[in-house]
Amino acid sequence: MKEDPRSQLRLRRKWEHERQRLQGRYRLAPEERTAWQLERVRCLVDSAFATVPFYRRLYSAVGFEPGDLVTWSDFEKLPLVNKRMLVEAGMGEEVAGHADGRTVHSARTSGSSGYNITIYQDNASVDYRTLLHMRHCEMGLSGPLKPDDWRYSVYFVAERFTSLAGGYPFVTVSLDCPPRLVLEHLAELRPRLMAALPSYLQRLAAENVALDAFGLEAAYTNSERSSREERVKYSEVFRVPVLDEYSSEELSLIACECPERSYHVVEDSVYLEVTDADQDGFGRLVGTSLGNFLMPFIRYDQGDIARLSDTDTRCGCGSRFRTITQFRGREDEYLRDGPSRTVPADIVLNLCDRTLVLEASNVRQYQIVQVAPARIQLRVQPVDPAGAVEGNPVVAEFVRELPGLFRTVRPDVEVVRADDFSPFASGKRRLIHLEGAWAGRPGEPDLSGR
């Protein structure tokens, strides 16, 4: 469904009416926040039982009836769901067939799972998602958005709303646009905030242009994996903070990096749990989207591994939302160490941050590809093709230290120059990749990485 003047005006009125309340939620005490979340979850679960046959069948099988959810322990007794379950049950088709004349918006996604699913939202869900994103922008700017402030994005598809009745304009350009043209466009529009995939910021950083000269105050990365050190590096080049956003089509906005470099859960967008945690607190992130009542995602496991804080401290940015203290990424994002152990992505990327991300490495892009049980290729694109890569001391340090992350095998690491890097099916870059027959799942992953 395309935007129109009526929907733009509706959203602008909501933003002006809800703005202060949304900002106030950052500062709620934990007990107030969890009380608000529990009430929202109660309404969501009862609504899902009443309107979505998939959830009615699933919850009836464990004896649930509307009104039974009183405490969080009641909620934790509900079954977990995942994309495969929803696809095989045809939940999307059920939802589309019972929309009761409402305006329905759809988005198609597969992520890295290989299971394609169409996600449906109504106007209320789309509006709520947009309002939270605007608040997210204000966090990055450390100040309010004004109606004449431009926001700028380099992405696959355009933002749903290009403005709110003429105010808060948002422009999206294609990822195929050459960085030089984007810089010319930024100089013309002078947006306050920019969002782009890390791989595009990498291309833009190669131009070595300070973006604060164009009026930019902050930039966000999204959709692809990036490390904190990588974002700090881009911050230094662009002379504006480069922060990260963690989101998905299913769960909407999940966590945002604030100017203090804390990774806050967006607690009024998603209720997050960590299940099957190991002794260090790493476990599977299970999320419940608090904004989509049309097609609910309740106790949804999308395959991410992380550790969540459980402290009652106020961040320097003013937020009291919990934080993701360490993110290991998707459960299928790893290197295999023998038949049953994995080396998680965050452990590998920590080594990359100490080596390949450094300017002295002469590395513009890289990808770590396991092509056999004991053979890994470091595929690199140099900044200076005439400069050293294979014999570069920083790259040599990476090659020397990577095998030490393994316990079961001792892989050989080969440096290979490359211009093309294997992405996800969606076209997003993938820093760590299992290639060919070796890409099958190990028997039982060791999430500790030790």
What pLDDT band is residue 115 in, cutting at 50, 70 and 90? low
The domain boundary residue, chosen from 285, 302, 329: 329
The pLDDT tens digits for 389-442 are 888 998 999 999 999 999 899 999 999 998 877 555 445 667 888 886 555 555
Q: With 50 as the cut, is the pLDDT of residue 195 above it?
A: yes
Tally of domains within the chain: 2
18/120 same-domain check: yes
Tell me what the pLDDT averaged over the chain comes to.
Answer: 87
Please give the average per-residue pLDDT across 76-105, as a whole number. Answer: 87
Residues 49/59, Cβ–Cβ less than 8 Å: yes
The domain boundary residue, chosen from 307, 329, 351: 329
| DSSP assigned state of 438 | G
CATH number, domain of 240, equals: 3.40.50.12780
What pLDDT band is residue 381 in, cutting at 50, 70 and 90? confident
322/379 same-domain check: no
Please give the average per-residue pLDDT across 35-53, as a whole number. Answer: 96
**Which residues constitute the domain of residue 48?**
5-329
Map tokens 């967008």 to a residue.
Answer: 269
Kindly state whether residue 119 falls inside one of the protein's structural domains: yes
pLDDT recorded at residue 354 = 83
374/290 same-domain check: no
92/227 same-domain check: yes
Kindly state whether residue 199 falls inside one of the protein's structural domains: yes
Question: Which carries the bigger pLDDT value, residue 2 or residue 175?
Answer: 175
Please give the average per-residue pLDDT across 89-98, as a whole number. Answer: 86
Kindly state whether residue 192 falls inside one of the protein's structural domains: yes
Residues 95/294, Cβ–Cβ less than 8 Å: yes
Exposure on the CB side of residue 58, measured as CA atoms within 13 A: 23
Residues 212/238, Cβ–Cβ less than 8 Å: yes
370/357 same-domain check: yes
Question: Which carries the bigger pLDDT value, residue 304 or residue 350?
Answer: 304
What pLDDT band is residue 229 in, cutting at 50, 70 and 90? confident
The pLDDT tens digits for 122-146 are 999 999 999 999 999 999 897 899 9
Lookup: tokens for 413: 């690491």
313/344 same-domain check: no
312/342 same-domain check: no
Q: With 60 as the cut, is the pLDDT of residue 446 above it?
A: no
What pTM does this model have?
Answer: 0.79
pLDDT recorded at residue 111 = 52
CATH number, domain of 377, equals: 3.30.300
175/308 same-domain check: yes
Point out the least confidently predicted range of 119-123, 256-260, 377-381, 434-438: 434-438
What pLDDT band is residue 203 in, cutting at 50, 70 and 90? confident
Kindly state whether residue 450 falls inside one of the protein's structural domains: no
Exposure on the CB side of residue 128, measured as CA atoms within 13 A: 18
The domain boundary residue, chosen from 294, 329, 364: 329
Please give the average per-residue pLDDT across 158-173, as a whole number. Answer: 93
322/343 same-domain check: no
Please give the average per-residue pLDDT across 52-81, as a whole number. Answer: 96
What pLDDT band is residue 118 in, cutting at 50, 70 and 90? confident
Point out the least confidently predicted range of 55-59, 370-374, 434-438: 434-438
Kindly state whether residue 26 falls inside one of the protein's structural domains: yes
| DSSP assigned state of 81 | B
Quote the CA–CA distance of 170 and 164 in Å, as a whole number: 9
351/428 same-domain check: yes
Kindly state whether residue 448 falls inside one of the protein's structural domains: no
* H helix intervals, 240-363: 345-354
Q: What are phi and psi of 240, to 5 degrees?
A: -140, 150
Kindly state whether residue 449 falls inside one of the protein's structural domains: no
What pLDDT band is residue 93 in, cutting at 50, 70 and 90? confident
Kindly state whether residue 255 falls inside one of the protein's structural domains: yes
Quote the CA–CA distance of 269 and 292 in Å, as a whole number: 9
253/363 same-domain check: no
The pLDDT tens digits for 259-284 are 999 999 999 999 999 999 988 888 99
Percent of residues, the chain, with pLDDT higher than 90? 56
Task: Write the CB contacts of 57 (distance below 8 Å, at least 6 apart in sequence).
Answer: none
| DSSP assigned state of 100 | T
100/15 same-domain check: yes
